[in-house]
Amino acid sequence: MTVRPTGSTNRFRAESGDWGTSLWGMKGVEDIGGGNRVVFHLEGGFNTMNGQGGNLFNRWATVDMTNDQYGTFLMGRELFISNGVWDFDPFGQSNWSSASLVRNRNWPQSSNNVSYQSPKFAGFDFYGQYALSNATSWNGNGTTPQGREAGAQVTYTAPFFQVRGIYDEIRNPANGQLGGNSVYAYSREYTAMFNVFLGQFKLQGGYQAVRTSGMTALLAGQPSTLDHEWGGVTWQATPAAALIGAVYHVNGNNGTGNATI
How many residues are there in the chain? Answer: 261
Q: How far apart are CA 177 and CA 216, in angstroms?
A: 10
Distances (CA, A) of 219 to 106, 134, 179, 215: 21, 27, 12, 10
Predicted confidence pLDDT, tens digits, the chain (261 residues): 666 767 888 888 777 765 667 889 999 999 999 999 999 999 998 888 888 888 889 999 999 999 999 999 999 999 999 999 999 999 998 888 999 999 989 989 999 999 999 999 999 999 999 999 888 887 788 899 899 999 999 999 999 999 999 999 999 998 888 887 778 989 999 999 999 999 999 999 999 999 998 766 666 678 889 999 999 999 999 999 999 999 999 999 888 889 999
Report whether CATH 3.20.20.100 matches the domain 70-260: no
